[in-house]
Amino acid sequence: MWGMATRQNSSSGKPKSPRVQVVLPEELCSRLTSLAEQESRTVSNMAKVLIQEGVNRHEASNIKSDFSKETEQFRNTLESQGEKRLQGVPKRLKFFKP
């Protein structure tokens, strides 16, 4: 299967975190290395942090997108119903005459 993360076991037999191999353009690798040095991280850890942020941002934008689609569908449904006039005073409301 394409893109499958590989798993390795430690010497104690416990499974390690999944490993993913990526090929980066030279310029992007240099920028990543620079960011890692600025934050006193390893390049691998910096890549992990940036991937987490990107995935979270992507998922959040999809949630907003789904919400706006549902809102638009709800609005269209309401607008397509047309106007309905009330017949008399609603039963729950009581009007008091002064």
| pLDDT recorded at residue 1 | 46
What pLDDT was estimated at residue 61? 81
6 beta partners: 19
**pTM of the entire structure?**
0.56
**What's the CA gap between 66 and 39, in Å, rounded?**
35
> Has residue 42 got a pLDDT over 80?
yes
Give residue 40's pLDDT.
95
| Full residue range of the structural domain in which residue 49 is found | 26-78
Question: Residue 49 — very low, low, confident or very high, per pLDDT cuts 50/70/90?
Answer: very high
d(CA 61, CA 55): 10
The reply to whether 56 falls in a domain is yes
Query: For residue 32, how many other CB atoms are within 10 A of its CB?
Result: 16
Q: Is residue 72 in some structural domain?
A: yes
Q: Into how many domains does the chain fold?
A: 1
pLDDT value at position 3? 59
